[in-house]
Amino acid sequence: MRNRLIRFVLIAVLATCAIPAWATLNVFACEPEWGALVTDLAGDNAKVYVGTTAMQDVHHIQARPSLIAAVRRADLIVCTGAELEVGWLPVLLRQSGNDRIQRGRPGNFEASRYVRMLEVPSRLDRAQGDVHPMGNPHIHTDPRNIARVADALAGRLGEIDPQNAATYQSRLADFSARWNKAMARWQSRSAPLRGLPVIEYHKAFTYLFAWLSIQSTGFLEPKPGVDPTTGHLTELLAQQKSKPARMVVRASYNGPRAADWFGERAEIPVVVLPFTVGGDAASKDLFSWYDDMIDLMLKGAK
């Protein structure tokens, strides 16, 4: 009797972690970049629902009923973590009633756990604006981080869907080969950008600029998450005399007003970068998104 009970418990636990061989894996991706990565790694084995778009500020998302329903159906959620989604994801998890994707379960995957975080604050002070205690969460703008996350994510897909684990590893090997080749191309093409001084709207491209050795000389936001003010923009404009930037960079989801104001008065170009896959017409997947960002930066630097 005791052995029968143990077998029953084991079967119940495994049933919550793995899906049937005939089923399609339901994946909820918090951001478009992770939806694109899951598609590359899983192909037809996964049905991917992306909870946000490239034209939204992912810090500020409403926990809509449609998102709750999608999380309720999910076998796996793939999100950035590092408290990027802290304002809305906990609500989705709580209201979904889905035990498979709660924190600490195999169905909950946080990409930030597999990379080295930048800008981790030595002390927390909300007077400094929207400061992330675990570091800058916009890890996806460095392609090396995409590669690290891909390795971990392929393993997690195989853990949840062991019947297709070999397929996920095969697709990972194919993706990694193409990705490494693309990274070499991007580094070569971006050589003229090294050391380029820029003004940013928000600390959205910290990881991209660290990878490409682009120098950020200031931000249109006076503090992270705080809208630009005329006084702060005027101070930045005065700074141009001693510490000139050669372009203004904003994400496509940021409004144009402050960047255009500054660019016109500083007489430097405003470069609008897609923040993720789908951020403009050219950014159809992870590969074309990085191609597009580098193309836009090179054009702005001429």
Task: Verify that 86 and 105 share a domain, yes or no.
Answer: yes
| Percentage, residues of the chain above pLDDT 70 | 90
Task: Verify that 194 and 181 share a domain, yes or no.
Answer: no
Q: Is residue 3 part of a domain?
A: no
Task: Verify that 43 and 143 share a domain, yes or no.
Answer: yes
Q: Is residue 31 part of a domain?
A: yes
**Whole-Å CA distances, 77 to 29, 80, 139, 288:** 6, 10, 17, 24
Task: Verify that 21 and 154 share a domain, yes or no.
Answer: yes
Confidence band of 15 (pLDDT split at 50, 70, 90)? very low
Task: Verify that 201 and 98 share a domain, yes or no.
Answer: no
Task: Verify that 62 and 162 share a domain, yes or no.
Answer: yes
pLDDT digits (tens, 9 = 90+) for 98-155: 999 999 999 999 999 999 999 998 776 655 556 678 899 999 999 999 999 999 999 9
Task: Verify that 99 and 158 share a domain, yes or no.
Answer: yes
Q: Is residue 218 part of a domain?
A: yes
Q: Tell me which DSSP letter residue 226 carries.
A: S
- Nearest CA to 115 out of 86, 153, 85 is that of 153
Which distant-in-sequence residues (6+ apart) come within 8 Å of 158 by Cβ?
A: 164, 165, 166, 168, 169
Task: Verify that 220 and 198 share a domain, yes or no.
Answer: yes
Task: Verify that 39 and 24 share a domain, yes or no.
Answer: yes
Give the count of domains, the chain: 2
Q: Is residue 53 part of a domain?
A: yes
pLDDT digits (tens, 9 = 90+) for 249-287: 999 999 999 999 999 999 999 999 999 999 999 999 999
More confident: 95 or 131? 95
Q: Are 75 and 48 in contact (CB under 8 A)?
A: no
Task: Verify that 40 and 164 share a domain, yes or no.
Answer: yes
CA distance 136 to 203: 8
Q: Is residue 260 part of a domain?
A: yes
pLDDT value of position 122: 77
Q: Find the domain containing 23 and state its range.
A: 9-118+127-185
Which distant-in-sequence residues (6+ apart) come within 8 Å of 62 by Cβ?
A: 88
Q: How many residues does the chain have?
A: 302
Domain end point (choices 185, 216, 234): 185
CATH number for the domain that contains residue 135? 3.40.50.1980
**Whole-Å CA distances, 149 to 135, 146, 172, 302:** 17, 5, 11, 34
More confident: 6 or 232? 232
Task: Verify that 242 and 96 share a domain, yes or no.
Answer: no
Which distant-in-sequence residues (6+ apart) come within 8 Å of 3 by Cβ?
A: none
Q: Is residue 75 part of a domain?
A: yes
More confident: 302 or 270? 270
CA distance 247 to 85: 30
pLDDT digits (tens, 9 = 90+) for 200-238: 999 999 999 999 999 999 999 999 889 999 999 999 999
More confident: 1 or 233? 233
Task: Verify that 24 and 166 share a domain, yes or no.
Answer: yes
Domain end point (choices 169, 185, 201): 185
Q: Is residue 231 part of a domain?
A: yes
pLDDT value of position 129: 55
Q: Is residue 17 part of a domain?
A: yes
Confidence band of 11 (pLDDT split at 50, 70, 90)? very low
